[in-house]
């Protein structure tokens, strides 16, 4: 019914209200020729596409403004800050021991790691060393947090690319880790488990067994994931050669973690500047060769295997060790809870310490750990008062995300979710 006009390839605007299924049309197939397409300028061809902040593949509230030429991304501008809560300003308004819970809320998929780096910075400032057993358990808990974070990354990254079932499997194993956290400190997500000077609560008796069970179960489960993905043609087509970062660009963009090591640069804080007991542990740092999304996937998978090795060594080395868990001899460490309910002196001392806090020496300290996503650092400036003068959180996600425009330049639109996933961001720590 819709007759063609004299202009070839254009359908005449129909005034008829009856539906037109095109069956009567004489030239339905060839009507979309491009012969009459007007040559558009570059700016007219460009389309601006707003992705997020409420988009399931942005892992939170990341907004990315994309400029497209067809399906090719010509420009990319990440807009962040939707989850900004001013953690650094809040840190300046709390006593040193009160900051630790705030760090849970930044990188919330690996909260023990944030607690660890926060107390390490404070301990460096006041020159306190945690007892040996506490150091081992700090390593165990933070390495479990690394696996939990990598599992969330693997599940959501694969989900973005299209492998739906991976997220179900990964979150199943993550539950085991969260159960361990819950047994240890009572919380699953916002753990607040590290304290200045060690741990003030004893290690539960069944905890080493739970961790050993996990170390027994997890490798074979991870082999299943690798069997699902590593040689999967769809997975390889979506990740190989996508988002290539050269070693020079990786250093220039200050990337850390798997983004840096996927490009072949050997920088792992655990090896470069060993902290806690990492100098006694035997593990390897996997490096990528091509710097693409597939290499970063392989690096993180191998990191999980190495992490299991680390945890098993820690459990072996600290077995039967009966050193205290808290460096109570230091005045910067909270006094023992024991006696606070029975004797007035203990209660008063505890009360005064909690209310007044402590005054560290004037100075500044930077502590860094190898977080799940890269170098996680805390920089504290002290003016000698009970509140930190400046509390700076250096989260690797924020710095790593700045490479996204560089990677997205010239990439296909469908790959942007793979690129966001491969950086492994958590918006809580990007925005802080």
**Least spacing, CB of residue 202 vs other proteins, in Å:** 30
Q: Which of 147, 196, 215, 265 binds other proteins (CB under 8 A)?
A: 265
DSSP assignment letter at 335: P
> Can residue 132 be called a binding residue for other proteins (CB under 8 A)?
no
By CB under 8 A, the count of residues binding other proteins is: 44
Inter-axis angle of helices 207-229 and 132-161, to 10 degrees?
Answer: 30
User: For residues 360 and 384, is the Cβ–Cβ distance under 8 A?
Assistant: yes
> Can residue 125 be called a binding residue for other proteins (CB under 8 A)?
yes
Q: Which of 8, 352, 390, 409 binds other proteins (CB under 8 A)?
A: 390
**Least spacing, CB of residue 297 vs other proteins, in Å:** 23
Residue 367 in tokens: 């502590």
Is the Cβ of residue 93 or residue 234 nearer to other proteins in the bound state? 93
Question: How remote is the C-alpha of 273 from its chain's centroid?
Answer: 21
> Can residue 399 be called a binding residue for other proteins (CB under 8 A)?
yes
**Least spacing, CB of residue 259 vs other proteins, in Å:** 11
User: For residues 326 and 199, is the Cβ–Cβ distance under 8 A?
Assistant: yes
> Can residue 218 be called a binding residue for other proteins (CB under 8 A)?
no
Residue 428 in tokens: 């809580």
Is the Cβ of residue 90 or residue 347 nearer to other proteins in the bound state? 90
> Can residue 279 be called a binding residue for other proteins (CB under 8 A)?
no
User: For residues 428 and 149, is the Cβ–Cβ distance under 8 A?
Assistant: no
Distance from C-alpha of 151 to C-alpha of 164, rounded to nearest angstrom: 14
Is the Cβ of residue 89 or residue 216 nearer to other proteins in the bound state? 89
Distance from C-alpha of 380 to C-alpha of 75, rounded to nearest angstrom: 37
Q: Which of 59, 105, 124, 300 binds other proteins (CB under 8 A)?
A: 124
Distance from C-alpha of 292 to C-alpha of 238, rounded to nearest angstrom: 11
> Can residue 358 be called a binding residue for other proteins (CB under 8 A)?
no
> Can residue 273 be called a binding residue for other proteins (CB under 8 A)?
yes
Distance from C-alpha of 391 to C-alpha of 99, rounded to nearest angstrom: 9
From 67-75, 231-239, 336-344, 398-406, give the range in contact with other proteins by CB under 8 A. 398-406
Residue 272 in tokens: 């470069």
Phi-psi region of 142 (alpha: psi -120 to 50; beta: other; left: phi over 0): alpha
From 2-10, 138-146, 283-291, 386-394, give the range in contact with other proteins by CB under 8 A. 386-394
User: For residues 387 and 29, is the Cβ–Cβ distance under 8 A?
Assistant: no
Is the Cβ of residue 311 or residue 368 nearer to other proteins in the bound state? 368
From 120-128, 291-299, 305-313, 319-327, give the range in contact with other proteins by CB under 8 A. 120-128
**Least spacing, CB of residue 291 vs other proteins, in Å:** 15
Q: Which of 88, 132, 312, 346 binds other proteins (CB under 8 A)?
A: 88
Q: Which residues contact 145 (CB under 8 A, 6 or more apart)?
A: 110, 111, 112, 113, 177, 372
User: For residues 262 and 299, is the Cβ–Cβ distance under 8 A?
Assistant: yes
**Least spacing, CB of residue 383 vs other proteins, in Å:** 6
Q: Which residues contact 114 (CB under 8 A, 6 or more apart)?
A: 103, 104, 106, 107, 371, 376, 429
From 163-171, 174-182, 252-260, 420-428, give the range in contact with other proteins by CB under 8 A. 252-260
Q: Which residues pair with 47 in a beta bridge?
A: 68
Is the Cβ of residue 45 or residue 84 nearer to other proteins in the bound state? 84
> Can residue 216 be called a binding residue for other proteins (CB under 8 A)?
no
Residue 154 class from Cβ within 10 Å (0-12 exposed, 13-18 middle, 19+ buried)? buried
> Can residue 365 be called a binding residue for other proteins (CB under 8 A)?
yes
Is the Cβ of residue 71 or residue 127 nearer to other proteins in the bound state? 127
> Can residue 267 be called a binding residue for other proteins (CB under 8 A)?
yes
Inter-axis angle of helices 416-423 and 293-317, to 10 degrees?
Answer: 20
Q: Which residues pair with 136 in a beta bridge?
A: none
> Can residue 398 be called a binding residue for other proteins (CB under 8 A)?
yes
Establish how many alpha carbons lie within 13 A of residue 146's alpha carbon, considering only the half-sphere containing its beta carbon. Answer: 30
> Can residue 406 be called a binding residue for other proteins (CB under 8 A)?
yes
**Least spacing, CB of residue 403 vs other proteins, in Å:** 8
> Can residue 86 be called a binding residue for other proteins (CB under 8 A)?
yes
> Can residue 197 be called a binding residue for other proteins (CB under 8 A)?
no
Cβ neighbours, 10 Å, residue 357: 18
Q: Which residues pair with 392 in a beta bridge?
A: 379
> Can residue 48 be called a binding residue for other proteins (CB under 8 A)?
no
Binding residues (CB under 8 A) for other proteins: these are: 80-81, 84, 86, 88-90, 93, 124-125, 127, 249, 251-255, 265-267, 272-273, 363-366, 368, 375, 377, 379, 381, 383, 389-390, 392, 394, 398-399, 401-403, 406, 431-432
């Amino acid at each position: 019914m819709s007759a063609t006009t004299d202009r070839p390839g254009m359908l005449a605007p129909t005034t008829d209200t009856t539906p037109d299924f095109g069956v009567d049309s004489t030239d339905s197939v060839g009507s979309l020729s491009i012969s009459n397409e007007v040559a558009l300028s570059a700016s007219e061809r460009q389309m601006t596409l707003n992705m997020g902040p409420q988009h399931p593949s942005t892992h939170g509230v990341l907004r990315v403004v994309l400029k497209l030429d067809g399906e090719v991304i010509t420009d990319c501008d990440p807009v962040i800050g939707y989850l900004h809560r001013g953690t650094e300003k809040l840190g300046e308004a709390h006593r040193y021991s009160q900051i630790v819970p705030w760090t849970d809320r930044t990188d919330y998929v690996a909260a023990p790691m944030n607690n660890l780096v926060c107390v390490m910075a404070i301990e460096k400032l006041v020159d306190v060393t945690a007892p040996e057993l506490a150091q081992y358990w700090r390593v165990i808990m933070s390495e479990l947090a690394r696996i939990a974070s990598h599992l969330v990354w693997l599940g959501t990254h694969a989900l973005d690319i299209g492998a739906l079932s991976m997220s179900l499997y990964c979150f199943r194993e993550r539950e085991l880790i969260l159960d361990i956290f819950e047994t240890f400190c009572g919380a699953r997500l916002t753990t607040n488990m590290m304290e200045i000077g060690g741990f003030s609560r004893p290690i539960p008796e069944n905890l080493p067994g739970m961790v050993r069970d996990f170390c027994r179960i997890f490798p074979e489960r991870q082999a299943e994931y690798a069997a699902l993905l590593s040689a999967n043609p769809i997975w390889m087509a979506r990740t190989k050669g996508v988002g290539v970062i050269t070693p020079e660009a990786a250093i220039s963009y200050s990337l850390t973690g798997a983004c840096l090591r996927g490009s072949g640069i050997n920088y792992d804080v655990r090896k470069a500047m060993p902290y806690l007991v990492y100098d006694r542990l035997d593990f390897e740092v996997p490096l990528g060769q091509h710097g693409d999304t597939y290499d970063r996937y392989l690096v993180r998978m191998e990191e999980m295997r190495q992490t299991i090795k680390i945890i098993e060594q820690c459990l072996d080395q600290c077995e039967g060790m009966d050193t205290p868990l808290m460096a109570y001899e230091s005045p910067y460490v909270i006094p023992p809870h024991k006696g606070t309910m029975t004797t007035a002196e203990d209660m008063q001392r505890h009360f005064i310490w909690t209310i007044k806090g402590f005054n560290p020496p004037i100075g500044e300290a930077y502590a860094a750990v190898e977080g799940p996503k890269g170098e996680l650092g805390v920089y504290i400036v002290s003016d000698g008062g009970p509140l930190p003068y400046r509390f700076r959180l250096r989260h690797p996600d924020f710095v790593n995300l700045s490479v996204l425009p560089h990677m997205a330049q010239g990439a296909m639109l469908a790959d942007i979710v793979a690129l966001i996933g491969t950086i492994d961001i958590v918006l809580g720590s990007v925005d802080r």
